[in-house]
Structure 1
Amino acid sequence: MVVTVGLARLCRSVGRTASSLSVPHQAAAAGLPARTRFISTTPASNLQFKLDERTAHSSLDLFKKNTGIIYRMLGLDPSHVQNNPERFRDWAVVLGDERISGGRHYWEVTVKKSQEFRLGVADAQMSRHDCVGTCNTSWVFGYAQRKWFAMTNNKMVPVTLVGRPERVGLLLDYDAGLLSLVDIEKRQIAHAVKAQFKAPLCPAFGLWDGELLTHSGLEEPEGLK
């Protein structure tokens, strides 16, 4: 069952026509400047990325050489950060600094002291006025009120096969149109989102408390389908 977001603290925007579908795993924006960094799409390529400070909302501090983010409730006065069209101005979101245009790629995220966050991918040109998960150009797995969910285009699907977050994996198969949440302890896919990716994607993160640490350059665990 797909549920429209109704929680006050979650990002909200006007719904658009859905272009993707979230399903349980049973078998296994115009005006932004062009970026030129593209990763290799060969199977042997392990995605390596850092967080792009130019996109980070003013409430997010980057640390550990731009691989982690900390949420600051007050944050910086938006007028005191560099004004550029790549920065998210309304929501606590940051993107990775690599664009993915094909291939199969895996990374992990350590969660520390956070009870509300989102992890996934977004069109590199998504509107900086939207939050990841509220538009049809972003696909995420979120955690709020002690529950996991998959989200795109402002629609939520419950995810029940993964527990309290500590460290999770994300597996993106661009060509197959799949984004999967990986339970690292069980070494299995907990949930997969089916979509039609038509543009370069970036790793995407939303954070409303605590901190997240990203781990890229990893090989995909054996046995994931």
Structure 2
Amino acid sequence: MADSLNADLSCPICIDFFIEPVSLECGHNFCRDCILNAWAQSDHASRNSCPQCRRESGWLDIRSNRLLASIVEGFQRLWHSEPAAPELSLKCHLHQQDIGLFCSDDLQLICRACWRSEEHRNHGCTAIKNAYKVCKANSIQLLQDKLKQYRDTHTATGLKISETLEHTNRLQDQITAEFAELQHFLQQREQDLIQRLRATAESAINQLVENMALISKRSALVEQALEDIQSMQEKTQLLMEIKGILQRCDLETNPALKTPKLNLGEFNGPLQYTVWKQMLNIISPAPAPLTLDSESASLDLVLSKDHTMVKGRSKLKAFPHNPKRFSNYGCVLAQEGFTSGKHYWEVSVESIDEWIVGAAKESIDRHSTIELTPSNGFWILRKWNGNIYGPHHAKESECHQNMNLQKVGICVDYEGGQVSFYNADDMTHLYTSTDRFTEKIYPFFLPFLESVTKEVLKVFHLKL
């Protein structure tokens, strides 16, 4: 009976005697702090539900249950007046004293000698009988918070899976569309070539058929003349008519008529290479013929006349002040900038040992020594000590060791927020930096110059 009454006087949330019991509209009772804490974690701002029957209740529906509080108080007095069940006598293994305290910092039962020791001197310690409820409530709260974190992370991971699948499907559709365009182009060129070949062949065959008809006509004349001559028995008659008979045969005309020739050069030449050149008209993005911006080039750089190559300057020259000019690093931008679309360009780096190439936003700091990172407006690939690195060259995951890179391909997808780098010789992907672009983006070049006698970095122009 005592156990049943004990359960009736216990809060369903903390499983302990009611403290400041309150009642909801549905009649269920809880500790005031327990129900307030439970509702505070709820997602509903104005209406919440009873943890037992799930009936909705509001914050204003909570009523103090003084009768239940009196019953709980009376039962506790009665319960404590009864002889308590013998508890295990716990001894501290360090000091051999009775254990009567609980350290809330270390979550450990201790004796008074432990409490006075250096290890627990500044820790929060309470009597065991008082620590039980606090420890239990705190532990429950801690575990509930952790469980909520796991559930939130689980939900976020599920959303990430959905986003990844959606993004993958978009990319798959894009790949399919781009290859379908190439396939349509190739099929169209194939059909065009076949139709021209057939038209050429048909014209040649028609000419040959006309030749055959003419040859048949002339053969008939010869056959008739031969028959006439063979049928003549009178010598005089043959001699008188022979000239006319032979003239009718046109014996001076060569029976082997000139036949038309197929244009083999068009149909038997380097077809794949020819079509590949024609395909550049539909490829997007194709290698852009960039030129370097002399106004942005630092004073220790000199550009070629066509602004496609850069080398070190042997003797500095005086130039008018220009806010666009770099004074922090020996670098230069391209004249062309981008605010939308996809753009691709290539840089020849075969004659320089160390370099940085990539893209930079228009508003970058051109006069202070800063890190060339995305947070500062640079999306770059660099070669240093023989290795290829992404923007944070200390990370091993961004390193391609001992790579002999001759030409770098850079692709900017403005709306997609990506700057990708490739080995332009075989289009092997090296690294992709992601961000959100909000202003004009320019191709960026920084050669670490050791020689001033040769052009060391070159913007590649595709010449076909």
TM-score, reference length from structure 1:
0.68
Q: Aligned runs of 1:70-219 on 2, under 5 Å?
A: 70-72=311-313, 75-77=315-317, 80-130=318-368, 133-134=372-373, 136-151=376-391, 158-160=398-400, 163-209=403-449, 211-216=456-461
Match for residue 7 of structure 1? none
Q: Tell me whether 183-192 or 128-137 shows the greater mean CA deviation.
A: 128-137
Report Cα offsets for 1:181-212 as digits up to 9, x if no partner: 11223323121111111111000111112511
Q: Tell me whether 133-142 or 200-209 shows the greater mean CA deviation.
A: 133-142
Give the number of the structure with larger relative contact order, counting CA–CA contacts within 8 Å between residues 6 or more apart. Answer: 1
Match for residue 68 of structure 1? 309
The gaps in structure 1 that reach 5 residues or longer are: 1-26, 29-42, 219-225
Q: 1:133 to 1:155 in 2, by over 3 A?
A: farther
Q: CA deviation at 1:217?
A: 6.9
Larger Cα-atom Rg = 2
Query: Do the aligned partners of 1:119 and 1:204 also contact (CA within 8 Å) in 2?
Result: yes
Query: Do the aligned partners of 1:132 and 1:139 also contact (CA within 8 Å) in 2?
Result: no
Report Cα offsets for 1:117-152 as digits up to 9, x if no partner: 110111112111246725521111011111111116
Equivalenced residue count is 174
Q: 1:45 to 1:165 in 2, by over 3 A?
A: closer
The one-letter code matched in structure 2 to 1:204 is F
Query: Do the aligned partners of 1:71 and 1:208 also contact (CA within 8 Å) in 2?
Result: no
What SS does structure 2 have at the residue aligned with 1:151? Answer: coil
User: 2 CA distance for matches of 1:132 and 1:67?
Assistant: 26
What SS does structure 2 have at the residue aligned with 1:181? Answer: strand
TM-score, reference length from structure 2:
0.34
Query: Do the aligned partners of 2:386 and 2:401 also contact (CA within 8 Å) in 1?
Result: no
TM-align CA RMSD: 2.9
Query: Do the aligned partners of 1:99 and 1:201 also contact (CA within 8 Å) in 2?
Result: yes
Q: CA deviation at 1:45?
A: 6.4
Larger strand percent: 1
Q: CA deviation at 1:178?
A: 0.9
The one-letter code matched in structure 1 to 2:304 is F
What SS does structure 2 have at the residue aligned with 1:53? Answer: coil
What SS does structure 1 have at the residue aligned with 2:328? Answer: coil
Q: Hey, which bits of structure 1, 4+ residues long, moved more than 4 A?
A: 43-46, 154-157
Q: CA deviation at 1:160?
A: 1.6
Report Cα offsets for 1:23-77 as digits up to 9, x if no partner: xxxx99xxxxxxxxxxxxxx956544210000000111101500111124x5515
Q: 1:190 to 1:112 in 2, by over 3 A?
A: closer
Q: CA deviation at 1:100?
A: 0.3
Q: 1:173 to 1:216 in 2, by over 3 A?
A: farther
Match for residue 52 of structure 1? 293
The gaps in structure 2 that reach 5 residues or longer are: 1-170, 173-282
What SS does structure 2 have at the residue aligned with 1:169? Answer: strand
Query: Do the aligned partners of 1:111 and 1:165 also contact (CA within 8 Å) in 2?
Result: yes
Identity of aligned residues (%): 24
